[in-house]
C-alpha cells in the first residue's frame, strides 16, 4: 500500500468518524444540559447553544482523531 493512499485513508476515516461521532456526542451533551436543538420548534438561546455544542463536538472530535490517526500531521 502506498504511503499517500495510507495517509488519505486515515484522514478520510478521521473526518467521517470525527464528524458523526462528535455530532452525536455534542447532541447528547446538549440534551443533558437542557439545550435541545433537534425536534424543538423555534429559535431561542437553548437551541442556539445546542447547535453550537453539536458543531463544537464535530470539530473537536475530528481534530482529535486526525491528531491520533495521522500522528499530529492533521
Would 61 be classed as within a structural domain? Answer: yes
- Give the structural domain span for 26: 3-69
Mean pLDDT by 10 residues, the chain (74 residues): 84 93 95 89 91 95 92 68
pLDDT of residue 37: 85
Q: Classify residue 16: in a domain, yes or no.
A: yes
Is the residue at 26 inside a domain? yes
Give the pLDDT confidence score for residue 58 in this predicted structure.
95
Identify whether 74 is part of a domain.
no
In a domain, 54, yes or no: yes
pLDDT for 13: 92
| Domain contains 34 | yes
The verdict on residue 53 lying in a domain is yes
Q: Terminus-to-terminus CA distance in the chain, angstroms?
A: 20
User: How many domains does the structure of the chain reveal?
Assistant: 1
- 3-class DSSP state of 54: helix
Q: Which long-range contacts (CB under 8 A, 24 or more apart) does 46-54 make?
A: 53/26, 53/27, 53/29, 54/23, 54/26, 54/27, 54/30
40 torsion bin: left (phi>0), alpha (psi -120 to 50), beta (else): beta
Q: Minimal CA–CA distance to 18: which of 48, 56, 71?
A: 56
pTM of the model: 0.83
Amino acid at each position: 500500500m502506498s504511503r499517500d493512499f495510507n495517509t488519505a485513508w486515515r484522514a478520510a476515516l478521521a473526518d467521517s468518524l470525527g464528524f458523526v461521532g462528535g455530532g452525536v456526542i455534542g447532541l447528547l451533551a446538549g440534551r443533558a444540559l437542557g439545550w435541545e436543538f433537534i425536534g424543538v420548534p423555534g429559535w431561542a438561546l437553548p437551541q442556539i447553544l445546542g447547535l453550537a455544542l453539536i458543531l463544537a463536538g464535530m470539530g473537536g472530535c475530528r481534530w482529535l482523531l486526525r491528531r491520533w490517526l495521522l500522528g499530529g500531521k492533521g
